[in-house]
Amino acid sequence: MKPQARSITVLTTLALAICPCVTASTRQNADDAAIDAYITHQAKLERGEEYREARKVVVGDLTRDGVPETVVLYTIEGQRGKNRSIQYLAVFGRRNGKLTPLTYAEMGGKSAAAVELRSVEDEAIVLGTLSYGPKDANCCPSVPGTMRYVLSGRTLREQKQGASTGRHN
């Protein structure tokens, strides 16, 4: 085999070997762009901006179809120039290989002052929470807890303690 032909063969083999990495990286970039566009649009509607450092993403199957959904917890702050922030939980699915939004819900409020996205387990989104105790100041909720949300059709529903973990859509 001529040296030039050997070089082409080696380069072709190398390109095929790294191709899955390039494809996975490209898909991740497309997923990140879809999430960014969704949150940016919502922030514009609220006249606020995302606190990007607080964003958390987990992936897991919420519908028992073998295709994982992407769950994003994000925070929009400064709505209409006010000193406030709201956490949201959004669920994205795959349609024709692309990440598309399915639904979202506001988190926090009366049941929890702060929410942390932990995982997807048993077709449910698991969130850690901090709620206010009787002596807590407004700045500092101190009572830890857990909330679970399930995807019911295109709606997120809180799964009450002791509820079954069967299919919910």
Domain count, the chain: 1
**pLDDT value at 14 more than 50:** no
> For residue 69, is it within any domain?
yes
**Tens digits of per-residue pLDDT, 53-112?**
999 999 999 999 999 999 999 999 988 888 788 899 999 999 998 999 999 999 976 556
First to last CA, the chain: 60
**Tens digits of per-residue pLDDT, 35-45?**
999 999 999 99
> For residue 168, is it within any domain?
no
> For residue 167, is it within any domain?
no
Domain that includes residue 43, residue range: 3-159
Structural tokens at position 101? 């939004």
> For residue 164, is it within any domain?
no
Q: Using alpha carbons only, what angle is made at residue 155 by residues 56 and 128, rounded to the nearest 5 degrees?
A: 35
Task: Count Cβ atoms below 10 Å from residue 76 Cβ, excluding itself.
Answer: 23
**Tens digits of per-residue pLDDT, 114-125?**
899 999 999 999
> For residue 166, is it within any domain?
no
Burial of 134 (0-12, 13-18, 19+ CB in 10 A): exposed
The model carries a pTM of 0.78
> For residue 20, is it within any domain?
yes
